[in-house]
């Protein structure tokens, strides 16, 4: 074989090897789409079928949040009187199925490890069933707004959480600028209406694929709005067979469909409690049985 022939043969072998490596990388990447996120916390609950739910314990404390934009947003105080455990990420479709023994409301889309999208009323059904698993050691509930924001801020009073650098923000938050959104859909979608692909592109991301906050919590900002317990009771939100409640439920944190400027620990959204939201999920709080005379907040 001539010297030129040997060079051509070596080049062909190298190209083939690179192709094999690229194919292997694709296989590994695809496998990772359906692999549960590796997260760490203080308490892990076995939901069955090898599906865990991991929680971080939040200690009592106080955080003073200053005025925002020269007084346009008022300052306020966040105070936690008793410890609580909060899920390290939003409830995923795999966790929903393990607890509810039924497919997630949005079970036709994407990875089992992305946040489930559902109504506030649906979250209460999940919490009720989860309590059958964790009682009497814990009481499962949604976070109050104070608990949610206190955990989101992780001791940081800044409304930007000191993520003013776009690269730092992108490293922690899924938002419209990095999630692949191609078109913004209406604010809520009936359960029986399929969401056109163009409305969110690849916006829905698996849980815990961005960096956590200082307390080890993922996706507190962005990815999916998170339903929280409202200040006032939401009436008739779980009555089976009833029409969707027009009582308004509150959500926090923003979603992958929101602009980076709109994603904030201070901001809140709302929707009728019985309406399934295309971009609203939730995370769970566990409370230990209260001691006599204790105050929950």
User: Are 27 and 50 found together in one domain?
Assistant: no
Closest CA to 101 of 120, 129, 121: 129
pLDDT of residue 8: 38
Longest dimension (CA), the chain: 91
In a domain, 173, yes or no: yes
Q: Confidence class of residue 25 from pLDDT cuts 50, 70 and 90?
A: very low
Q: How confident is the model at residue 278 (pLDDT cuts 50, 70, 90)?
A: low
Domain that includes residue 21, residue range: 1-33
The full DSSP string for 6-67 is HHHHHHHHHHHHHHHHHHHHHHHHHHHHTSPP----SEEEE-STT-EEEEEEE--EEEEEPP
Q: Which pLDDT band holds residue 231 (cuts at 50, 70, 90)?
A: low
66 lies in the same domain as 209? yes
Q: Are residues 209 and 268 in the same domain?
A: yes
Tell me if 296 is assigned to some domain. Answer: no
pLDDT of residue 9: 46
Mean pLDDT value across residues 167-187: 80
The answer to whether position 99 is within a domain reads yes
Q: Give the whole-angstrom CA distance, residue 146 versus residue 232.
A: 14
pTM: 0.77
User: Is 188 a domain residue?
Assistant: yes
Do 191 and 168 share a structural domain?
yes
Supply the pLDDT for residue 171.
96
> Looking at the domain assignment, is residue 136 inside a domain?
yes
pLDDT for 168 equals 92
Half-sphere exposure of 289 (CA within 13 A, CB side): 5
The answer to whether residue 292 is domain-embedded is no
Residues 6+ apart with CB under 8 A from 93: 104, 106, 107, 111, 112, 113, 114, 115, 116
Residues 23 and 133 in one domain: no
Calculate mean pLDDT across residues 198-208: 67
106 & 224 share domain:
yes
In a shared domain, residues 29 and 127: no
> Are 25 and 46 members of one domain?
no
Same domain, residue pair 46 and 27 = no
DSSP β-bridge partners for residue 77 = 64
Residues 128, 11 within the same domain: no
Among 21-30, 35-44, 190-199, 213-222, where is mean pLDDT lowest?
Answer: 21-30
Which one of 25-39, 77-91, 178-192, 224-238 scores highest in mean pLDDT?
A: 77-91
Query: Do both 8 and 79 map to the same domain?
Result: no
The CB-side HSE value for 230 (13 A sphere, CA atoms) comes to: 17
Strand ranges (E), 142-180: none
Q: How many domains does the chain have?
A: 2
Q: What's the CATH number where 175 sits?
A: 3.90.1580.10
Same domain, 45 and 29: no
Spatial contact of 88 and 244, defined as CB atoms under 8 Å apart: no
């Amino acid at each position: 074989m001539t010297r030129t022939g040997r060079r051509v043969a070596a080049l062909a072998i190298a190209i083939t090897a690179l192709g094999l490596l690229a194919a292997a990388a694709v296989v590994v990447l695809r496998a990772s789409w359906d692999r549960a996120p590796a997260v760490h916390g203080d308490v892990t609950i076995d939901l069955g079928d090898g599906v865990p739910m991991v929680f971080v314990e939040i200690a009592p404390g106080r955080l003073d949040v200053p005025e925002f934009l020269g007084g346009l947003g008022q300052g306020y105080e966040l105070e936690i009187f008793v410890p609580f455990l909060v899920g390290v990420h939003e409830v995923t479709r795999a966790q929903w199925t393990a607890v509810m023994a039924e497919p997630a409301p949005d079970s036709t889309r994407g990875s089992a490890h992305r946040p489930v999208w559902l109504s506030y009323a649906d979250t209460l059904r999940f919490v009720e069933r989860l309590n059958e698993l964790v009682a009497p050691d814990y009481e499962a509930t949604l976070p109050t707004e104070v608990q949610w924001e206190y955990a989101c801020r992780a001791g940081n009073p800044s409304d930007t959480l000191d993520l003013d650098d776009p690269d730092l923000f992108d490293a922690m938050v899924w938002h419209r600028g990095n999630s692949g959104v191609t078109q913004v859909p209406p604010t809520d979608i009936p359960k029986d209406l399929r969401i056109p692909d163009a409305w969110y592109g690849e916006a829905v991301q698996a849980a815990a694929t961005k960096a956590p906050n200082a307390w080890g919590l993922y996706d507190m900002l962005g990815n999916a709005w998170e339903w929280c317990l409202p200040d006032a009771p939401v009436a008739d939100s779980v009555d089976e067979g009833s029409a969707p409640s027009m009582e308004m439920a509150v959500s926090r944190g923003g979603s992958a469909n929101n602009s980076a400027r709109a994603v904030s620990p201070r901001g809140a959204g709302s929707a009728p409690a019985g309406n399934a939201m295309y971009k609203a999920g939730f995370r769970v709080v566990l409370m230990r049985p209260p001691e006599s005379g204790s105050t929950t907040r």
